[in-house]
A and B are shown apart, each in its own frame.
Chain A
Amino acid sequence: MCASPVMTTSGEEVDYALRVSDLGKSYAKADGTGFRLHQVTMDLPMGYIMGLIGPNGAGKSTLIRLLLNMTRRDSGAISILGRDPLSQEEEVKADLGVVFDSIYFPEAWKVKAVEPVMAPMYPSWDSDRYHDYLRRFGLLENRKIGKLSRGMQMKLMLAVALSHDARLLILDEPTSGLDVLARDELMDILLDYIGDGCHSVLFSTHITADLERVADFVTYINRGSVFYTGPKDELMEAFQIVRGGPDDLAGGQMPHLMGLQRSATGFEALVPTERLKDFLASASPTAMEPSEDRYLVERADFDNIIRLTAGPPAAADKNKEVES
């Protein structure tokens, strides 16, 4: 299920911070296993925040590495801020701010060594802004980078990323080492950052509560393919979670499901909103209660969607088991 953001607003063309089309990358191992990122297509309009979600190993970090030319793509095209990151790598990267899930500076360096290294790399480096962020984040310049906590290391990378007027921020799991207050602060910074409509953010995360607060768009990658890309609200409205007892799921309901998890006490099913009526109508006619009373139906959140669609292939077997 894919949706593209609207191409035009009030008749004018939308500027895109990031456009990816049919991006592919395969890794093959000697033992026959491997990983494939398959025909990834997504668009991030300028001035918005896009969340990149998916289970571990889905391909989020691989996608980010492909965007940064840290690994070679097998196929497809990428446009960052309207430019080709292969032929115009230096110009593109001068406009990018990047935060990884772990520090990219040598750990033996002190915090004060970072600015002399980074400032000359970026023509628009703003030393005052950088030092403001250091103060705001409580980063002491004489501390060794390796001695900083993971959260503080992330803040150091963020301070660098925000100090050279990057037009696109790419953040790979930036909130994973942060407590709730620091995550809130980061989300506020990101909202401030895109406020002028000229800056955009792409960030991958496991903590989907952050996304629900700040993201305008979501790309959900599952097993190397894009499951959904488009406005966040559309995804959140697209699915309902249905819960019921262990005997409440009939074989006739299976075609209406997108995902299923069963336990001894019952089941949870992910049902597309437009098929909810059909799902309820297909309930077993032998049941005593009407289907509306038998099932608990509520809007699915990101965690539910990921949990119920990202299961291993064994989930399909479970489905067959129910059908039989």
Chain B
Amino acid sequence: MKAIAEQIRLDMQRFSGAGRTWVGVLIFLSAPVIGILLNLVMALTGNDGDDARTALTGLVAGMGIGLIVGLVSGLFVDFSNAAIRLNGLLPITRDHQVFGRYAAVSLLVLVQSCGYAIFYFCVADSFLQGQDHWRATVLFALGLFMSESLLFAVAAPLFYWLEMAKAVIAFLALLGLVPITALVGSWLPFGWGAVWNSIMRFLTSDLWRPVLLGLAVILAADMVSIAISRKVYARKEI
């Protein structure tokens, strides 16, 4: 555990770019904090209509996705230069380096998601218009936590395996498959409306169900991703 904790701290320091733990954390937490501040400014200036708040929510969610991409780049950029050799001399095994990195990212994304929950709770005050405030907040934060975790689970093995540039291309290609698959799926003679309705029913059922399912999906994706990353990284020359 100690080695994994050291790796978590090292990755925080690496992500900061300056060797200081708190800088990396602040950078990553900046999206919901910026959202909360902008929301405050909008409220003070009277520009806090539903459209503006919806746009702000989209902006903050987009920043979150952008930051996870930045986090992945920041953590793996050393793989393309001589600084990767630090991994070879520190008293942390490769397995612990992989576990530590996933734990570091999960921790950061979790803390960031708590920030999103606070942001959403503040912003959504008016435009939820009578809906369950807590449910919407939890689902929003869970949605972002899940999206960012799954993006990392897909990206990490690629970055352990390939050079930086190739990994980015492969990652973007995989992301590109998502809308293509959706487009192809929409052409298929399938009752998508019924599927959508059942998803919405599931999301509006007892809150613990979507939460549990979301966490289970993240856990399963991370387990598979870690297994691949360990195997790939064990063979990598550093």
Residues of A within 8 A of B (CB): 65, 68-72, 89-94, 96, 98, 100, 102-110, 112-114, 116-117, 120-122
Please list 11 pairs of residues, one from A and one from B, whose beta carbons are closer than 8 Å in the complex, sorted by A's number.
A72-B234, A72-B235, A91-B91, A102-B82, A104-B83, A106-B19, A113-B13, A114-B19, A116-B19, A121-B10, A122-B91
**Is A90 touching B91 in the complex (CB atoms < 8 A)?**
yes
Interface hits, B81-123 → A, CB 8 Å: 81-83, 85-86, 88-94, 96
Note all chain B residues with C-beta closer than 8 A to A117: 10, 13, 19
**Is A96 touching B89 in the complex (CB atoms < 8 A)?**
yes
**Is A113 touching B18 in the complex (CB atoms < 8 A)?**
yes
Residues of B within 8 A of A (CB): 3, 6, 9-10, 13-14, 17-21, 78, 81-83, 85-86, 88-94, 96, 234-235, 237-238
Note all chain B residues with C-beta closer than 8 A to A65: 88, 237
**Is A106 touching B9 in the complex (CB atoms < 8 A)?**
no
In the complex, besides A68-B88, A102-B82, A105-B86, 19 extra interface pairs with C-beta distance below 8 angstroms are A65-B88, A68-B89, A70-B85, A70-B88, A90-B3, A90-B91, A90-B96, A93-B90, A98-B89, A100-B82, A100-B85, A104-B86, A104-B89, A106-B78, A109-B19, A116-B13, A116-B21, A120-B6, A121-B91
Note all chain A residues with C-beta closer than 8 A to B6: 120-121
From A69, A71, A114, A121, name the one whose CB has the most chain B CB atoms within 10 angstroms. Answer: A121
Contact A106-B88, Cβ < 8 Å, known A90-B3, A117-B10, A120-B9: no
Contact A121-B18, Cβ < 8 Å, known A102-B82, A113-B13: no
How far does the Cβ of B43 sit from chain A's closest Cβ, in whole Å? 38
Which listed residue (B17, B93, B234) contacts A106, Cβ 8 A? B17
Note all chain A residues with C-beta closer than 8 A to B14: 106
How far does the Cβ of B40 sit from chain A's closest Cβ, in whole Å? 33
Q: Which residue of A lies closest to B17 (CB)?
A: A108
Chain B at the A interface: SS class: helix
How far does the Cβ of B74 sit from chain A's closest Cβ, in whole Å? 10
Note all chain B residues with C-beta closer than 8 A to A120: 6, 9
**Is A121 touching B17 in the complex (CB atoms < 8 A)?**
no
How far does the Cβ of A220 sit from chain B's closest Cβ, in whole Å? 25
**Is B82 touching A93 in the complex (CB atoms < 8 A)?**
no
Contact A105-B83, Cβ < 8 Å, known A94-B91, A117-B10, A121-B92: yes
Note all chain A residues with C-beta closer than 8 A to B81: 106
The 7 closest A-B pairs by CB, nearest first: A113-B19, A70-B88, A93-B91, A104-B85, A94-B91, A98-B89, A90-B91
Note all chain B residues with C-beta closer than 8 A to A71: 237-238
From B14, B86, B89, B91, name the one whose CB has the most chain A CB atoms within 10 angstroms. Answer: B89
- Bound: A112/B18 CA distance, A: 9
Note all chain A residues with C-beta closer than 8 A to B86: 104-105
Contact A69-B88, Cβ < 8 Å, known A109-B19, A113-B19: yes
**Is A103 touching B88 in the complex (CB atoms < 8 A)?**
no
**Is A89 touching B19 in the complex (CB atoms < 8 A)?**
no
- Bound: A92/B92 CA distance, A: 10
Q: Which residue of B lies closest to A164 (CB)?
A: B91
Note all chain A residues with C-beta closer than 8 A to B19: 106, 109-110, 112-114, 116-117
From B83, B91, B96, name the one whose CB has the most chain A CB atoms within 10 angstroms. Answer: B91
Note all chain B residues with C-beta closer than 8 A to A69: 88, 94
- Bound: A112/B13 CA distance, A: 13
Q: Which residue of B lies closest to A102 (CB)?
A: B82
- Bound: A114/B18 CA distance, A: 9
How far does the Cβ of B125 sit from chain A's closest Cβ, in whole Å? 41
Q: Which residue of A lies closest to B19 (CB)?
A: A113
Note all chain A residues with C-beta closer than 8 A to B82: 100, 102-104
How far does the Cβ of B2 sit from chain A's closest Cβ, in whole Å? 9
Note all chain A residues with C-beta closer than 8 A to B10: 117, 121
Note all chain B residues with C-beta closer than 8 A to A108: 17-18
How far does the Cβ of B161 sit from chain A's closest Cβ, in whole Å? 15
- Bound: A107/B78 CA distance, A: 10
Note all chain B residues with C-beta closer than 8 A to A94: 91
**Is B238 touching A70 in the complex (CB atoms < 8 A)?**
yes
Note all chain A residues with C-beta closer than 8 A to B21: 116
How far does the Cβ of B64 sit from chain A's closest Cβ, in whole Å? 24
- Bound: A102/B17 CA distance, A: 19
Q: Which residue of A lies closest to B235 (CB)?
A: A72
How far does the Cβ of B32 sit from chain A's closest Cβ, in whole Å? 26
How far does the Cβ of B22 sit from chain A's closest Cβ, in whole Å? 11
Q: Which residue of A lies closest to B83 (CB)?
A: A106
- Bound: A113/B9 CA distance, A: 13
- Bound: A295/B221 CA distance, A: 75
Q: Which residue of A lies closest to B89 (CB)?
A: A98
Q: Which residue of B lies closest to A90 (CB)?
A: B91
Note all chain B residues with C-beta closer than 8 A to A104: 82-83, 85-86, 89
Q: Which residue of A lies closest to B93 (CB)?
A: A89
**Is A90 touching B93 in the complex (CB atoms < 8 A)?**
yes
Note all chain B residues with C-beta closer than 8 A to A72: 234-235
Note all chain B residues with C-beta closer than 8 A to A98: 89
How far does the Cβ of A106 sit from chain B's closest Cβ, in whole Å? 5
